[in-house]
Amino acid sequence: MADNQSVLANPTSMDTGSENSDTGKPNSDSGTSSVIDANKPIDDGSKKSPDSNAAPVIPDTYEFTVAEGSTVSEMSKTVAGAFAKEHGLTQAQAQAHFDNTIKNQRLFAEDMVAMAAEKGAELLAESKADPLIGGDKWNKTLANVKTVMDRPEYEALKDKMEKSGLGNDKDFIKLVSDFGAIANEDTHEDGRKAPASETDADIMYPNLKK
């Protein structure tokens, strides 16, 4: 209903042009006038404080924090600090850049691991299908490879090949398998190394040797 309408909901309904009953002149009471002086500046709260124009604080040295559970080398921090100094970054800006760099490095490493696993699976399928080392020869090939790669001196090489996925490459497997085959041929079933001078009879009947 119109009687319940709020004045605040319709400010233009206020009578600002009423006359003074005593003078017959328009009411000039500033307390009831809704007229806004167009020449008066409006304070929108956007005025800056005196300190807002101050130059950013560039530290002499930068201190970087690392997320719990993460490991970052001191060299990485040194490089990040040099970058921040060169580009005039504040401590907060430098930390944000540092965090983003570490995050990207971690994502890159994860991508590399995933790519290596995918490539390794492809190489393994090719190796198993290879006519020289795969098919019904695969178990023998693996035995020959194991003979070589299980030796302590090749432990580091074995770890690198497994992580890169290249340990499944058919050419690598052929090479290692050939060495393993030679080593297995020079070894008795009981594990004894056969001297080059031994004959088949010496191997078959070792108790008859004088």
Q: Which two tokens stand for residue 138?
A: 């695969």
Using 50, 70 and 90 to split pLDDT, how confident is the model at 104?
Answer: very high
More confident residue, 196 or 69: 69
Under 8 Å between Cβ of 33 and 16: yes
**Under a CB-based contact definition with an 8 Å cutoff, are residues 58 and 89 in contact?**
yes
Domain-wise residue ranges, the chain: 57-122, 130-210
Which has the closest alpha carbon to 123: 175, 168, 73? 168
* pLDDT tens-digit map of 77-92: 999 999 999 999 999 9
Q: What is the pLDDT of residue 191?
A: 47
For every residue of 134-158, DSSP letters joined together read SGGGHHHHHHHHHHHHTSGGGHHHH
User: Which CA distances in Å does 87 have to 82, 123, 189?
Assistant: 9, 46, 69
pLDDT score, position 67: 84
- Under a CB-based contact definition with an 8 Å cutoff, are residues 56 and 69 in contact? no
Give pLDDT tens digits for 125-135: 999 999 999 99
